[in-house]
Structure 1
């Protein structure tokens, strides 16, 4: 084989390895997602581009207030915030979240509450919206931050961990809005 053919073959191998690595990273570790809609405002704006961490929940458990991406339907993924964990009772009364009967602060909603003309969400209990008294094992109760305009567990029910793609908290586009959400 000539020097030139050898060099071409090395470039081809390098490109194949790069494509396989990129595909593997996207399939198993991290993936991009585009926020579609206003259900997570003011935390996430429509058309933000984010990175989904697919391995976080393979080695750890979701925590309250994590922002997750999950398969809502066969062809549609949703991005919402974890509110209720397995075994917990969830309720809202007078714009206050109650977990197992105790009030829980939601600091990410403070600005929205100040600007709102009325409550951010209607009063409800887990039983009223899902027919369950507790979030089942292996499931999560999720809500959008824009509670008035979010299709979430109040409508679609609890989310099985099998539906969860991963956690997201890095906005990378547009660059002027780059941030890591706590």
Structure 2
């Protein structure tokens, strides 16, 4: 009987020590590398949740790839909502800092994206709360880049950056000339 109690204590100690190693490692991975998130709503249809309310896509959000705020036009990103800091939203990057964009209902018809900001939009324009509602988004709110759809299994795929032709910037920041200063 005493042998069994010693045996149980040994496994309990192993479990506790493993737990105290696993938790910090898991927290570090989720904080620095990547985590999964369920995409809800219709704002990213047809790219994400193409079936509507019947199922939700689950995506892998790569935190490591955005650590230096390196994103490109067409990336699907997760950001902290500028209107509700308790919420994260997933949208497509349409324009980068310095780009000129024609908006879809924002207070100004044309906007130059300020330094340190992005212009994000949902793919389903009529059903999206995005930069057309709240303007350019600070890079500091960037949380991760969606790199893969991991659920449902029938939709397993890598997410490639793409922008609809009608939403491309009018002039991107790398094409600036001296004439742009007049705009």
Structure 2 length-normalised TM: 0.73
* Structure 1 runs (4+) greater than 6 angstroms displaced: none
CA contact (8 A) 2:91 2:120 kept: yes
Q: Give the gaps of 5 or more residues in structure 1.
A: 93-121
1:55 to 44, 64, 67: 64
* CA-atom RMSD in angstroms: 2.3
* Counterpart Cα distance in 1 of 2:78 and 2:70: 14
* Richer in strand (by share): 1
Structure 1 pair 19–70 and aligned structure 2 pair: CA distance change class (3 A): same
**Is 1:153 the equivalent of 2:134?**
no
Q: Which has the larger radius of gyration?
A: 2
1:115 — aligned with what? none
Structure 1 pair 126–53 and aligned structure 2 pair: CA distance change class (3 A): farther
1:75 to 66, 72, 86: 86
The alpha-carbon deviation at position 125 of structure 1 amounts to 8.0
Pairs aligned (count): 149
Q: Give the gaps of 5 or more residues in structure 2.
A: 1-5, 161-183
1:26 — aligned with what? 30
The alpha-carbon deviation at position 5 of structure 1 amounts to 3.1
Q: Larger deviation: 159-168 or 147-156?
A: 147-156
Structure 1 pair 125–77 and aligned structure 2 pair: CA distance change class (3 A): closer
The alpha-carbon deviation at position 175 of structure 1 amounts to 1.6
Structure 1 length-normalised TM: 0.73
| SS of alignment partner, residue 9 of structure 2 | helix
The alpha-carbon deviation at position 76 of structure 1 amounts to 1.5
**Is 1:5 the equivalent of 2:9?**
yes
* Counterpart Cα distance in 2 of 1:65 and 1:155: 19
Q: Deviations over 1:19-66 (max 9, x none)?
A: 221122112221221111111110000521111111212146110000
The alpha-carbon deviation at position 3 of structure 1 amounts to 5.8
Matches within 5 A, 1:1-182: 5-45=9-49, 47-59=56-68, 61-72=70-81, 73-91=84-102, 127-128=108-109, 133-182=111-160
| SS of alignment partner, residue 127 of structure 1 | coil
